[in-house]
Structure formats: C-alpha cells, structure tokens
Amino acid sequence: MRAVRLNRLPPYLFVEIDRRKRAAREAGRDIIDFGVGDPDQPTPAFIVNAMKEAVHEARHHRYAPGVGYPEFREAAARFFQRRFGVELDPTKEVISVIGSKEALGHLPLAVVNPNDVALIPQPGYPVYESATLFAGGVPFAMPLRERNGWLPAFEEIPQDVLRRAKLMFLNYPNNPTSATATMDFLEKAVWVARSHEILIVHDAAYAEVYFEKPPPSILQVEGASDVSVEFHSLSKTFNMTGWRIGFAVGHADVLAALAAVKSNVDSGVFGAIQQAGTVALNRYDRPEISAQRELYLRRRDVLVAGLREAGWHAIAPRATFFVWVACPGGVDSMAVCSRLLEEADIVAVPGIGFGEHGEGFVRFALTVDEMRIREACTRIARLEWAPLPR
C-alpha cells in the first residue's frame, strides 16, 4: 500500500530510539532521557492565561486566515524589529506557520522543480532531506565539520551542483551540533546564494535559546531578503512545542508560494493560539524567558562538567539546549548510545542519526532536571571506554 517515495526516506532514527526507550521503561528501569529535543518545562503562565481568554472568543472557533491574523503578523514584525533591528512588512514579509517543521516540510513543494538540487547541512534535522525528496528534489549533503566550527565549507561544493541548486538549508543555532553562525558566515552564505541564484532557507528554531550574545538573523545581512526566508518558532523559545505555531519571514514571493501550497493542505493556525502567540511575542523579554535560558545554562554546566570528569571531551555550547560531544574512546555513536542505555539507563542520540557526517558524536538534550543530570553523570562515570586513539 505504501507509496514508493516513502522508501527513499532515510530511517527516522528517533522512532527506533523511542521504541527501545519504551521497552526499557516497561521493564521497570529508571531511564534518564536526554533524547528528545522537547522542553520539559511548561509554557509560561502569561501565555496560558492569554490562551484561556482567547479560546472563549467565538471568532476563533472559525477558520483563521491561512497566512495568519494581522495582529500575529504585526507582533512577529515588531519582535523582529526589536530583537534584530530588521523592518519587515507584516502584510508581505511575515506569515504564520503551524510550527517551523510544517513550513520546512512544505517549502520545497513551493520552490523545487523535479531534479533541482537542495543543499542540506549534515549532520542536520532530518526534515530538510525528506521534504526535498517529497518535492522530487535531489538532496546534496554539505558536511559540517568540527574544524570549521560546524559551518558548511561552500568552496567544497562542486560547480555543477551549485548550478543545479535551487535551495540551501541552513540552521543556526544548530541542531544537533549547537554551533552558532557569525554575521561573517551569514554574509558569505548570502553572497553564495546571490551568485548562484539559490534560495537560502534558514531554520532559526533556536534563535532565542542562547547563553552568550544573542544569535543573528540572516535578514540582518544587507539585501538578504532577496535570496532568503527564515523560519522562527515559538516552540523552543516559549516551551510551546505542543501548540504548533511559528512564523516565516523574508522573500515575499517565496512566502506567497509557500502560502499557496499551504492553502491546499492546511487551514492555518487555530486563532486562539495565534492570539496567545501574539502575547508571547509582544513580551518575549519577560523574566520567564530569560529564566528559562538560565535553567538550561545551569544544566549545561552540570552536564559538561560531569562528562569531563568521566573523561569525555565535552565542550559547553553557546546556544541551543544540546550538548554535542565526541564519542569517548573512539567507539561509534550507535555503540556509545547502546551502552549508555543498556549499562546506565541513559538515552542519548547517536550522531549517525543525523547523517553519516554526524558519526563520532552523540547528542544530549538539556531537557532533564538538574538532579537527574547529576545522577546521570554518576552513572556515566562508572562506564569504562577502551582508550583507542581518536
């Protein structure tokens, strides 16, 4: 019954990890789960309260405009102005999306013709590749390497691939490597895109999860909106993953094309969620939001220190809630994660799950309580890894 196109998809590794985790839990084991990139804290009360009011309004019980209510789009534009100093026209350069995953999943249908190449960072979020395949495009992996600060080396991309490329996905702050991009890099990316008529799709889902200076938007690069769109999400910023709301900004014609696809498959974000999302964006500088960053920071420091004590080469991330760490003892990432699960009841994600260039690393999500992180570090310290040369 299944369509052939599904056979081309890479295996969605997280389903398999989930299965093994559930089996371990059912066996009564005390699992500490660093696997999922889903905030463990609730949505701040001021947003939940805005939702409570909004849900009573009958106007929200009907279809909302597919591209979003003007109030939500204006709030997103205002947020952009305050946070990045970038002016956007809320009627053309901002649309609502049902989470950035939805937008990433649909965007290739709006811009990719059969056999167009999409440049995809690897290791990376699996949706870039599957969405490209759904649209009949050809994914081309841009390896991210530690020695390049986990940024793609554009000069390595063959000229004929650049000629055929229609799209380039970028994601900073990055999942899974937690790397951030400098303005210099984003300027270079825009220059490459302009020279080769490529559309940059920048996934900025972690733009507000940072521990040092706030990460930039690609739209801060002069003229970037001629060659790029950027996806923002309320999911990680406001602990709203279950709500399904985000927004896309940038190139007006591309957003219109995305809206045309979406109008045929969805009918927009529930109006009450947009109203609560408007309140969230208007007050993104509230103390709850910075407190959330501080919580991840404390967890980060506990985990990084614990891993180091256990002999791992852990480096503290500047942004995102991920710690991306080299496998100890030169063991492959799947073997490391299997041992963590079988011998320490700990779930982490093997880098290979993000593509072959993710091999050699594992990802820990900081969505675990501090005391539990300490417990996990104690367990990890008991494991011994064969000291193979790396």
Ligand X SMILES: *Cc1c(COP(=O)(O)O)cnc(C)c1O
Contact between 108 and ligand X (CB under 6 A)?
A: no
Query: For residues 47 and 162, which CB has a smaller minimum distance to ligand X in the complex?
Result: 47
Q: Which one, of 236, 244, 342, lies nearest residue 293 by Cα?
A: 236
Residue nearest to ligand X (CB): 99
Residues composing the chain: 390
Residue 347 to residues 16, 42, 339, 343, 350, Cα–Cα distance (Å): 12, 22, 10, 11, 10
Residue 273 within binding range of ligand X, rule CB under 6 A: no
Q: Phi, psi at residue 136, to the nearest 5°? A: 80, 10
101 binds ligand X (CB under 6 A): yes
Q: Is residue 106 at the binding interface for ligand X, with CB under 6 A as the rule?
A: no
Q: Rank residues 201 and 252 by Cβ distance to ligand X and give the closer one.
A: 201
Q: Is 74 an interacting residue with respect to ligand X (CB under 6 A)?
A: no
**Residue type at 207 in one-letter notation:** A
Q: How far is the CB of 174 from ligand X (least distance, A)?
A: 8
How many residues at the interface with ligand X, by CB under 6 A?
14
For position 215 contacting ligand X by CB under 6 A, the verdict is no
Part in contact with ligand X (CB under 6 A); list of ranges 95-103, 129-137, 285-293, 336-344: 95-103
Distance in Å, CB of 319 to ligand X, minimum: 12
Provide the mask over 220-239, with x wherever binding to ligand X is found by CB under 6 A and - wherever it is not.
-------------x-xx---
- Measured distance CA(177)–CA(247) in Å, rounded: 23
- State which of residues 51, 193, 200, 205 lies at the interface with ligand X (CB under 6 A): 205
d(CA 69, CA 10): 36
- Between CA 1 and CA 261 the distance in angstroms is 25
Q: How far is the CB of 36 from ligand X (least distance, A)?
A: 10
Distance CA 80, CA 249 (A): 9
Work out which of 44, 90, 99, 137 binds ligand X, going by CB under 6 A: 99
The answer to whether 119 touches 165, Cβ cutoff 8 Å, is: yes
Query: Considering only residues 121, 139, 215, 246, which one is a binding residue for ligand X as defined by CB under 6 A?
Result: 246
173 binds ligand X (CB under 6 A): no
Work out whether 100 is an interface residue with ligand X (CB under 6 A): yes
Tell me how far, at minimum, the Cβ of 53 lies from ligand X, in Å: 23
> Who contacts 175 (Cβ-Cβ below 8 Å, separation ≥6)?
37, 124, 125, 205, 206, 320, 322
Amino acid at 17: I
Query: Which of 105/306 has CB closer to ligand X?
Result: 105
Q: Which of residues 296-335 bind ligand X (CB under 6 A)?
A: none
Q: How far is the CB of 119 from ligand X (least distance, A)?
A: 16
Q: Which stretch binds ligand X (CB under 6 A): 2-10, 53-61, 82-90, 96-104?
A: 96-104
- E strand or H helix at 230: strand 228-233
CA distances 160 to 157, 163, 195, Å, are: 9, 5, 14
If binding is defined by CB under 6 A, does position 241 make contact with ligand X? yes
217 binds ligand X (CB under 6 A): no
DSSP 303-332: HHHHHHHTT------SBSSEEEEEPGGG--
Residue 292: half-sphere exposure toward Cβ, Cα within 13 Å:
26
Contact residues for ligand X, defined by CB under 6 A: 37, 99-101, 125, 171, 175, 203, 205, 233, 235-236, 241, 246
